[in-house]
Amino acid sequence: MFAFSLALALLPFISATVIDVQVGAGGKLAYSPEAISAKVGDQVVFHFNAKNHTVTQSSFASPCGKKDGGVNSGFQPVPANQTDNLPTFTVTVNNTDPIWIYCAQAANTPNSHCGAGMVFAINCGLDGAPNSFTNFKNSALAIGASLSASAAAASSTAYTPASTASAADAAWTTAAYGDYTIPPAPTATLVTQAVTLGTSSWTTTYSSYPGSAAPTPNSVEGTVHKVIVGGPGKLAFDPPTISAQPRDVVVFEFHQKNHTVTQSSFDDPCRKLNANGVTGFDSGFMPVADDATEFPTWNFTVTDTAPVWAYCRQQLPSSHCGAGMVFAINSVETSPRNFAAFQNVAKALNGTAVLSTSPNNTTTTSQDPSGAASVKVGFASVSILVAALIGSLL
Ligand SMILES: *[C@@H]1O[C@H](CO)[C@@H](O)[C@H](O)[C@H]1NC(C)=O
Ligand SMILES: *[C@@H]1O[C@H](CO)[C@@H](O)[C@H](O)[C@H]1NC(C)=O
Ligand SMILES: *[C@@H]1O[C@H](CO)[C@@H](O)[C@H](O)[C@H]1NC(C)=O
Ligand SMILES: *[C@@H]1O[C@H](CO)[C@@H](O)[C@H](O)[C@H]1NC(C)=O
Ligand SMILES: *[C@@H]1O[C@H](CO)[C@@H](O)[C@H](O)[C@H]1NC(C)=O
Ligand SMILES: *[C@@H]1O[C@H](CO)[C@@H](O)[C@H](O)[C@H]1NC(C)=O
Ligand SMILES: *[C@@H]1O[C@H](CO)[C@@H](O)[C@H](O)[C@H]1NC(C)=O
Ligand SMILES: *[C@@H]1O[C@H](CO)[C@@H](O)[C@H](O)[C@H]1NC(C)=O
């Protein structure tokens, strides 16, 4: 009896835990991890990385709206070069009710961090439950999409591609050949925005798509992304899709067999891009012997934040592209033109699979096995002034 009451008395002290959460680590608009479970008495310590984020309490019903009387860190601006002594904000868990959190930066604008999926939860429902984290984040993303759509509609500089009359009646269309139905091309909006990187500032004009992110480079040097092409028994790019910012370098490392990386387009995945005066990039064939230990590389520098689609041009003994050997940079994973949809078009047009009339209308939010964020923030196309941008930084 004595032992029992002692244990009970000590329980709150023994079991209270400190849980660390990174806010905006790696320049991502995300909390990491995205969702946690915590016991009464636990302390959740948020560490604010570079940029200017908040930890603000909302509700499940209104993910991007401040809850009256809820916890709120306020804005925590952190310079790009600060990597230690990060400011923190601590939330004490007082009961087992779910606590819903979002970043209030750029609230109610198309650049809303919450609308880009920058949300977090403590003690939310499991996946499958109505109040799961996935459902919470999806409603935040839907708010972001609707903010972008209304900004596009309101913008007097909005333009529509010649092929679509307006975003509202943008109809499903067909791929370049094969009568295969594909989602409409997104409608772009011209945006002029001031960009600050460290001590440099400049103004850039770019085309923004619904769900697309800001054109801010990660750093003056850019980030290096490595992609493995092929390998023993593999007809794939690994990883098959990346998100990259202007100035980033993608290093394609060619492994076994004889592959290429060649730029194509969403509606013509297995042929080299050649439209409107734009010719796609092409690494050329990179034969690699079965016993090779050194692998040739070919580099591509990202200049744009619009999606870049690519494939392997090898057709011997059968089409690699038709087998699904395709790759994308900055595919907007929350849109119908996501990576899976692109790969389906490739398989339908050049694969041996029986042609179906329409791809699945998949809208996915990728999640890594740890449950941490890998929300594709979507992208904007920096079509103009990239040269001016580089000049201003050197
Ligand atoms: C941080 O963001 C808030 C809201 O957008 C803004 O008012 C504030 O000036 C920003 N602080 C810095 C240092 O950029
Ligand atoms: C960050 O950059 C600013 C301006 O260049 C400089 O004053 C500051 O000392 C730097 N801080 C660190 C931690 O490097
Ligand atoms: C828990 O209670 C403390 C003390 O009343 C309060 O400051 C804190 O904001 C509460 N935590 C939450 C998540 O509401
Ligand atoms: C690589 O593939 C291309 C296209 O099929 C072919 O022309 C070339 O001879 C191949 N190279 C080697 C070394 O097998
Ligand atoms: C590609 O870029 C990487 C990293 O910047 C560099 O080490 C490599 O030599 C480059 N490869 C080629 C073929 O230019
Ligand atoms: C895909 O099919 C088209 C049309 O038959 C053909 O022109 C193209 O070369 C094929 N591409 C690949 C990589 O199989
Ligand atoms: C598309 O949907 C069908 C029917 O629901 C399913 O059998 C198939 O596996 C799906 N394909 C992909 C690529 O998700
Ligand atoms: C996909 O969505 C479009 C537009 O909502 C619809 O017209 C089409 O029938 C859908 N296709 C499938 C296979 O569900």
Question: How far, in Å, from the CA of 80 to the mean position of ligand 1?
Answer: 14
Q: Is 172 in the pocket of ligand 8 (CB under 6 A)?
A: yes
- Residue 202 CA to chain centroid, in angstroms? 24
* Same domain flag for 15 and 147: yes
Instruction: Tell me which residues of the chain have a pLDDT lower than 70.
Output: 1-14, 151-171, 190-195, 197, 202-216, 218, 353-394
Instruction: Considering every ligand atom shown, identify the ligand nearest to the alpha carbon of residue 262 and give its number.
Output: 6
Place of tokens 């913008």: 155
The domain tally of the chain equals 2
Closest ligand 1 atom to Cα of 52: 1
Q: How far is the CA of 253 from the centre of ligand 2 (A)?
A: 36
Whether 164 is covered by a domain: the verdict is no
232 lies in the same domain as 325 = yes
Asked whether residue 69 falls in the same domain as residue 133, the answer is: yes
> What CATH number should be reported for the domain holding residue 201?
2.60.40.420
- With respect to residue 173, please indicate whether it lies within any of the assigned structural domains: no
pLDDT of residue 67: 92
Q: Which of 86, 82, 27, 81 is nearest to 198 (CA)?
A: 81
Contact between 191 and 205 under an 8 Å Cβ cutoff? The reply is yes
Distance in angstroms (rounded) separating the CA atoms of residues 130 and 133: 9
In this structure, the answer to whether residues 191 and 279 fall within a common structural domain is: yes
172 assigned to some structural domain: no
Please tell me the residue having the least CA distance from ligand 6 atom 2: 350
CB 104 within 8 Å of CB 19: no
Atom number, ligand 2, closest to the C-alpha of residue 82: 13
If asked whether residues 373 and 340 sit together in one domain, one would say no
pTM, entire model: 0.49
* In a shared domain, residues 223 and 341: yes
Q: Is 232 found in the same domain as 142?
A: no
Instruction: Look at residues 332, 324, 325 and name the one whose alpha carbon lies nearest to residue 366.
Output: 332
| Residue 385: inside a domain | yes
* Whether 206 and 282 share a structural domain: yes
Considering the domain boundaries, does residue 193 fall inside one?
A: yes
Whether residue 65 lies inside any domain: the answer is: yes
Ligand 3, atom 7: closest residue by C-alpha:
92
Positive or negative, the CA dihedral 226, 212, 335, 135 is positive
Would residue 331 count as lying in a domain? yes
Residue 39 lies in a domain: yes
Coil, helix or strand at residue 295: coil
Sign of the alpha-carbon torsion through 6, 10, 14, 15: positive
Q: Could you give the CA distance from residue 384 to residue 387 in angstroms, rounded to a whole number?
A: 8
Q: Considering only CA atoms, give the Rg of the chain.
A: 23
Query: Do residues 147 and 187 share a domain?
Result: no
Residue 344 CB less than 6 A away from ligand 7: yes
Are residues 244 and 377 located together in one domain of the fold?
A: no
**Mutation choice for ligand 1 from 29, 51, 52, 78, CB with most ligand atoms inside 8 A:** 52
Helix (H, G, I), strand (E, B) or coil at 262: strand
Q: What is the pLDDT of residue 161?
A: 38
- The model's pLDDT over 51-80, given as tens digits with 9 standing for 90+, comes to 999 999 999 888 999 999 999 999 999 998
Q: Are residues 102 and 222 in the same domain?
A: no
Q: pLDDT (tens digit, 9 = 90+) per residue, 268-288? A: 999 999 988 889 999 999 999
| Atom number in ligand 8 closest to CA 360 | 13
Give me the pLDDT at residue 332, please. 85
Among the atoms of ligand 8, which is closest to the Cα of residue 357?
Answer: 13
380/155 Cα distance (integer angstroms): 16
State the residue range of the domain holding 114: 2-152+362-393
Residue 246 DSSP code: T
Phi/psi for 147 (5° steps) reads -65, -40
* 273 and 304 fall within a common domain: yes
| Residue 249, pLDDT score | 94
| Protein residue whose Cα sits closest to atom 3 of ligand 4 | 285
- Report the C-alpha gap between 69 and 24 in whole angstroms: 24
Best probe residue, ligand 4, of 316, 318, 319, 321 (max atoms within 8 Å of C-beta): 316
